[in-house]
């Protein structure tokens, strides 16, 4: 069996980075130099170990006020994020 080029801690960080990645799995794997199979394997491994844990992704808003409205004939939905 071929030895992994990353430690378990590094794989955990890679999996966490993927959770916050805004792109395809193919793009992510290509930038990290890993295969999809490796990512799937370690993602499952860590998810099985951490069933009750929560991961947070950092979000950066470019504006202090975000408003988006959606209207339909019967439904209006508005999302506001103000901080």
Cα 59 from chain centroid (whole Å): 11
- Please give the structure tokens belonging to residue 41: 């394997």
At residue 77, the pLDDT reads: 63
Q: Who has greater pLDDT, 58 or 73?
A: 58
**pLDDT tens digit string along 53-63?**
666 777 776 66
Each residue of 41-80: b (16+ CB within 10 Å) or e? ebbeebeeeeeeeeeeeeeeeeeeeeeeeeeeeeeeeeee
Q: Is the pLDDT of residue 1 over 50?
A: no
Using the Cα atoms of residue 30, residue 34, residue 35 and residue 40 in order, give the sign of their dihedral: negative
Which pLDDT tens digit goes with each residue over 10-45? 999 999 999 888 899 999 999 999 999 999 999 998
What is the pLDDT confidence band of residue 46, given thresholds at 50, 70 and 90? confident
């Amino acid at each position: 069996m071929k030895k992994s080029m990353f430690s378990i801690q590094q794989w955990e960080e890679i999996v966490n980075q993927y959770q916050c990645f805004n792109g395809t799995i193919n793009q992510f794997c290509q930038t990290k130099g890993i295969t999809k199979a490796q990512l799937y394997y370690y993602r499952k491994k860590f998810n099985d170990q951490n069933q009750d844990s929560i991961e947070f992704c950092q979000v950066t808003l470019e504006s202090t006020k975000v408003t988006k409205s959606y209207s339909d004939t019967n439904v209006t939905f508005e999302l506001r994020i103000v901080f």
